[in-house]
Amino acid sequence: MQSPSESPRTPKRTRPRGRILFVAALSAAVALTFATGASAAPKAKTAPKPVELSVFSPGTNDVAGTNGSGFVVDLALTARNKAANGLLSPEAGYKPLFNNPTSPTFQPGTNGGAPGLVVLLSTTPDTPGTPFHGPNTNLAGLFQINGVGSVRGGLTQTWNTWQIGKAGFGSGPSMLTAYVVRGNAPAVVPATGLDVISNTVKVPFTITAPAS
């Protein structure tokens, strides 16, 4: 029993263990949020290029042609909106054109019906004394059939087709790369310096070997 001269003991105040754990977890969560806030912020989406390029042939992992020829590269360019129609307009050089294989225009370089088109094959050889200078050779000038139309509510679209009638573009695994630049595409494509106005499409496929 306590004497009257003794002061009563003040009871110690204790925190419930569950509350302590909750506060600690909350503090850790807040610290983590501040530490990772910059990386967790959503990245801004890049606006698509004004021209959409679609490749219909060859398809991914196709085995194309017979004896290194007889296959088709078929693609389309479509303005994404009416404001982009001017990029594929006659004033920009886009027009219906049959590029006759006997014509002087039938050679690597600028396509007379689709001047900004760039088409590359990773297996294109580097042949001295010819217009073929390896994989950076722009093959768009070999597309024979080039048409222009209006689709999807007035959007300009071109169709461009190349039938490979003769072997000479390599064989085995190949990568087709296609895109569109502003103005006239060069015969040999540099690594930088071009104003690309479309998405870039890459299609891996296989070219059959020429007959021995």
Q: Please provide the DSSP assignment of 23-67 as one string.
A: HHHHHHHHHHHHHHHHHHSPPPPPPPPSEEEEEEESPTT-EE-BT
98-128 residue pLDDT tens = 999 999 999 999 999 999 999 999 999 999 9
In a domain, 18, yes or no: no
In a domain, 9, yes or no: no
- Quote the tokens at residue 48: 């698509």
Q: What is the mean pLDDT of residues 150-163?
A: 95
Confidence band for 23, pLDDT divided at 50, 70 and 90: very low
The yes-or-no verdict on residue 90 having pLDDT over 70 is: yes
Dihedral, 94, 96, 100, 105 alpha carbons, nearest 10: -20
pLDDT of the residue at 39: 53
In a domain, 152, yes or no: yes
Domain with 146, as residue range(s), is 51-207
pLDDT of the residue at 1: 47
In a domain, 36, yes or no: no
CB distance 58 to 136 below 8 Å: no
Number of domains the chain contains = 1
57-79 residue pLDDT tens = 999 999 999 999 999 999 999 99
The yes-or-no verdict on residue 16 having pLDDT over 60 is: no
d(CA 69, CA 168): 8
Half-sphere exposure of 177 (CA within 13 A, CB side): 12
d(CA 198, CA 79): 9
d(CA 53, CA 29): 46
Cis status of the peptide bond prior to 58, with omega within 30 of 0: yes
- Quote the tokens at residue 41: 């912020």
In a domain, 44, yes or no: no
In a domain, 20, yes or no: no
pLDDT of the residue at 28: 54
Residue 84 neighbours by CB under 8 Å, 6+ apart: 50, 51, 155, 156
